[in-house]
Amino acid sequence: MGVLEGKKGLILGIANNKSIAWGVTKSCHREGAELGFNYLGDALEKRVRPLAESVNATLVEPLDVSDDAQLDAFFAAVEAKWGQLDFMVHSIAYADKNALKQPFSQTSRQAFQQALDISAYSFVACAQRAARIMSPGGAMLTMTYLGAVRSVPNYNVMGVAKAALEASTRYLAYDLGEHGIRVNALSAGPIRTLAASGIGDFRTLMTKAARGSFLKRNVTQDEVGNAACYLVSDWASGVTGEVHYVDTGFNVGVGDPGES
Ligand code: NAP
């Protein structure tokens, strides 16, 4: 019997089969969860729906996390369909491509606000609505990156958004802990995805991450998916407020040793 057997979970942020959210989906489906998904606009529905159907999803609804009315409608649909929610995975981020290309010191107010809104506040917005339909034992998870705690070249405003996301994780974990709900973040090493394509010179980042990691390679989508599955399952029942690194050990070391 799978560790998520009998549980209903939302996975937010599938763009395509390269998405980290898809890695999470594969693991959670294998472990027996009943799954629900969002999509951002009609164009994305065409890509998300077939993936969702391939794992027998019972809920696929539109949701732009920057829109409160859509958030309300989405979680109302979840409540109407499922009644109760056991876990939620938030795998969503956005920053303006031009803002990411500029030196961080040149970030505009508008680009800063948008990156923080979609990449950090949206987790709070989803969590407050999800918590209303979660019982003790419920779990929430978001995806973060090392750029939250280190200055990573080209990560720029997204690093600041991830710092806010990680702090939000701790405050949500504090608030929701008394209701028996756990909240964690998973810090993944670099993986080639649509969102990653917005980060300048991502190829070099991946090469350096592999060289500087203890396992001497990049992490895979499936490895992140499996760790996410553990964090939302009862196996992690004593874990909350954490940032859990799944990066083949890169964050613990001293970084890229160079080519010698
Ligand atoms: P991805 O496949 O592009 O997923 C990002 C998702 O966010 C997409 O589905 C995107 O939808 C969605 N999104 C953006 N704005 C949204 C909005 N307003 N409302 C709803 N959804 C919205 O890339 P990914 O790499 O898997 O990213 C997933 C998460 O992992 C992100 O938080 C990312 O920062 C994090 N992460 C990624 C890496 C990496 O190296 N790839 C490493 C560590 C952490 P659209 O495509 O339609 O815009």
Query: Per residue in 26-52, pLDDT tens?
Result: 999 999 999 999 999 888 899 999 999
Residues 6+ apart with CB under 8 A from 63: 12, 38, 39, 40, 70, 71, 74
Each residue's pLDDT tens digit, 207-252: 999 999 999 999 999 999 999 999 999 999 999 999 999 999 999 9
pLDDT for the residue numbered 181: 98
Q: Is 174 a catalytic residue?
A: no
Q: Which among 22, 38, 46, 94 is the best mutation to test ligand 1's pocket, defined by most ligand atoms within 8 Å of the CB?
A: 94
Q: How many CB atoms lie within 10 A of CB 43?
A: 9
0.85 surpassed by pTM:
yes
pLDDT score at 157: 97
SS3 18: coil
Sequence-distant (≥ 6) Cβ neighbours of residue 75 within 8 angstroms: 126, 129, 130, 132, 133
* Residue spans of alpha helices (H) in 31-177: 41-54, 68-82, 97-101, 109-116, 122-131, 156-177
Question: What confidence category does residue 256 fall into, taking pLDDT thresholds of 50, 70 and 90?
Answer: confident
Say yes or no to pLDDT of 260 above 70. Answer: no
CA of 21 to the centre of ligand 1 (A): 8
Ligand 1 pocket (Cβ < 6 Å) reads 13-15, 19-21, 40, 44, 63-66, 91-94, 118, 143-145, 188, 190-191, 193-196
The structure tokens listed for 131 are 């918590």
Catalytic site includes residue 145: yes
